[in-house]
Structure 1
Amino acid sequence: MKVAVIGSNMIDLVTTIDRMPRLGETLEAPAFGMGFGGKGANQAVALAKLGCEVLMVTKVGDDLFGRSVLENFKNLGMDTRYVEPVPGASNGVAPIFVDRDANNSILIVKGANNALKPADVDRAAEDLRKCRMIILQLEIDLATVYHAIDWGERNGIPVILNPAPAAALDFAYVRRTAFFVPNETELELITGMPVTSPEEARQAARSLVRDGVGNVIVTLGGKGSLWVTAGREELVPPCIVRPVDTTGAGDAFIGSFTYYYLRLGDVLTAMTLANRYAALSTTRPGTQTSFVTREEFERTDF
């Protein structure tokens, strides 16, 4: 089973804070660390750790960070033929601030990710045809995202679109995805509707379905996840844990959902397992380092 991830990679620069400083204020922070991140890379790593073959299509910087990202992908057994350095460009970075309650605030600097273009999708076409699904996010050029959706539709490869970070989207493309997977904040920004409860999430997701989106899955953090189609609505309950760091939990959900959906063929079962996998990731610090292997996951007793 092979899945393609066409998307971003970042180096996470993680600062643990007691609180965010006010404008002009300097505060001492308890800790700092670096790690591999980026929404595309995170989702790919979750898939790889679960045992899926992963074709990664991304751009890395012509710097130490970029070389480290490529080596990390190779160490995880990914197909890296389309992980290409951009001469003179810095790698993408993501400064992340995590507070005492495990909440996070994130900035992204796209760097080399901006250089991933539609032509890169075309160059990978022969290998993309061997994949069972394509996963996309919005940390790369939107034209590349739309081109990949077009390509997937023409070639019969279903697409999962994670609209993160949220952006104005052309729904002529969104309607052609197999699954549209926003979180609460992204759903609110995309629909212009409030999303402060599961019921409000239902209403906002229904508006997308009325606009022609076939499957909307909303990740609700500690409230579980929601699946809405034209004929069905299912709220999948959360897995209750004590979080340490929620960074990357949404990516853990998407990677694990994709793996179990392709393996088992059932959306609700895949969502239930993805809720558990994402919850488990929040009990460990870091992003990709918090993702576990399939063997570790399947022997974890919640």
Structure 2
Amino acid sequence: MQNVSKSKIVVVGSSNTDMVIKASRLPVPGETVIGGEFMMNPGGKGANQAVAVARMGGQVTFITKTGNDLFGRQSMELYNSENINTDYVFSDEDHPSGVALISVDVYGENCILVAPGANAALTTADIEKARKEIEEAEILLMQLEIPMETVEYAAKIAAEKGVKVALNPAPAQTLSNELLKCLYIITPNKNEAEILSGIKVRDWDSAQKSADRISEKGVDIVVVTLGGLGALIKEGSSYYRVEAEKVEAMDTTAAGDTFCGTLCVGLSEGMSIEEAVRMACKASAITVTRMGAQASLPYRHELT
């Protein structure tokens, strides 16, 4: 463990081991597709974002829960090797580490099945143990692969101390008004933006309307990620469009996590939201050209 007195960015979220098969196409229900290539990688949205922050040069603490098993021990070794503060990576004696089964086709599209394991046992009591770390952060970054009660509790602690709360609302689900009021920035993709706003997102204009609806609920900055198009930003009454880098996608796994981690690093360094999103788009474009989750995350020097 490392002695980090103050972290600029605290990530609260999931830790998984990803078991990935890349095949010519994704199977339909009841079908077996033969001829895939298998790999096993560390993953989980929370862990991916923590690693992304670290590789972009951010100072990061990761709050998560793993099982007392091989996957959990391997995860700890990896986080320490990435220079992530692991003082609040809790070990659970009763639940296994989280596991994700991922299928990827030749176009880079994926489908994911997750067994949360210990992630579902990350409680408000665990967050309370890390209260001081959260209160001293500049940014708290979270996702939704842990219990919603835990997300809301951490967000409230941070907001009360003026810590900027960033939420990647994935996997997609509805959010309470209480949580939304705690947020400084939210980064939904097209599907998540539709669930939050009730507006179908197809293009820049509909993304802007969706962002308007979401911001009405109390969020300072809304960034709707649009895949190959780029990202639409709403900050106050201002809007920005950031075009995506043109690349050939191999695997879109962790692209959103790369985006969020990089975005938070940019903001912590004093960049404008437009500058931070531009850097995040560049980083996520690199991610989709590589296989795997954390294995695909770029380092800061690769963005030049």
Superposed pair shares fold, TM > 0.5: yes
User: Does 1:223 pair with 2:229?
Assistant: yes
User: Does 1:155 pair with 2:161?
Assistant: yes
The Cα of 1:230 is off from its aligned counterpart by 3.7
**What is the CA–CA distance in structure 1 between the aligned matches of 2:174 and 2:195, rounded to whole Å?**
9
User: Does 1:288 pair with 2:255?
Assistant: no
Q: Deviations over 1:27-59 (max 9, x none)?
A: 203201110111110010001111211111000
SS at match of 1:143: helix
SS at match of 2:146: coil
- Structure 1, 289-298 or 252-261: larger mean CA deviation: 289-298
- Report what 1:204 is aligned to: 210
- Report what 2:4 is aligned to: none
SS at match of 1:56: strand
SS at match of 2:163: coil
CA contact (8 A) 1:15 1:29 kept: no
The Cα of 1:132 is off from its aligned counterpart by 1.1
- Report what 2:199 is aligned to: 193
The Cα of 1:297 is off from its aligned counterpart by 2.4
Q: Write out aligned runs for 1:82-93 (5 A).
A: 82-93=88-99
- Structure 1, 125-134 or 137-146: larger mean CA deviation: 125-134
Q: Deviations over 1:56-94 (max 9, x none)?
A: 100001211111111111111111111011003111111
- Report what 1:278 is aligned to: 284
Are residues 138 and 235 of structure 1, via their aligned partners in 2, closer, same or farther at CA, if it must alter by over 3 Å?
same
SS at match of 2:290: coil
* Residue 164 (structure 1) aligned to one of 164, 170, 183: 170
**What is the CA–CA distance in structure 1 between the aligned matches of 2:28 and 2:142, rounded to whole Å?**
35
Q: Deviations over 1:248-277 (max 9, x none)?
A: 000000000110111133110011111101
- Report what 1:49 is aligned to: 55
- Residue type at the aligned position of 1:152: A
- Report what 2:120 is aligned to: 114
**What is the CA–CA distance in structure 2 between the aligned matches of 1:258 and 1:212, rounded to whole Å?**
19
* Residue 180 (structure 2) aligned to one of 171, 174, 183: 174
Structure 2, unaligned stretches of length 5 or more?
A: 1-6
- Residue type at the aligned position of 1:193: I
Q: Write out aligned runs for 1:18-57 (5 A).
A: 18-57=24-63
- Report what 2:103 is aligned to: 97
SS at match of 1:164: coil
* Residue 251 (structure 2) aligned to one of 233, 242, 245: 245
Q: Deviations over 1:187-243 (max 9, x none)?
A: 112223211222211111111122332211111111000111341111111111111
The root-mean-square deviation of aligned C-alpha atoms, in Å, is: 1.3
CA contact (8 A) 1:7 1:39 kept: yes
The Cα of 1:126 is off from its aligned counterpart by 2.0
* Residue 125 (structure 1) aligned to one of 128, 131, 137: 131
CA contact (8 A) 2:254 2:293 kept: yes
Q: State the identity as a percent.
A: 37
Q: Deviations over 1:97-139 (max 9, x none)?
A: 1101111111111110011111111111222233211001110
SS at match of 1:106: strand
Are residues 11 and 198 of structure 1, via their aligned partners in 2, closer, same or farther at CA, if it must alter by over 3 Å?
same
User: Does 1:138 pair with 2:144?
Assistant: yes
Structure 1, unaligned stretches of length 5 or more?
A: none
**What is the CA–CA distance in structure 1 between the aligned matches of 2:200 and 2:35, rounded to whole Å?**
33
Equivalenced residues, count: 298
SS at match of 1:80: coil
- Report what 2:272 is aligned to: 266
- Report what 2:262 is aligned to: 256
**What is the CA–CA distance in structure 1 between the aligned matches of 2:133 and 2:154, rounded to whole Å?**
13
**What is the CA–CA distance in structure 2 between the aligned matches of 1:211 and 1:30, rounded to whole Å?**
45
- Residue type at the aligned position of 1:177: L
TM norm structure 1? 0.95
User: Does 1:80 pair with 2:94?
Assistant: no
TM norm structure 2? 0.94
CA contact (8 A) 1:216 1:229 kept: yes
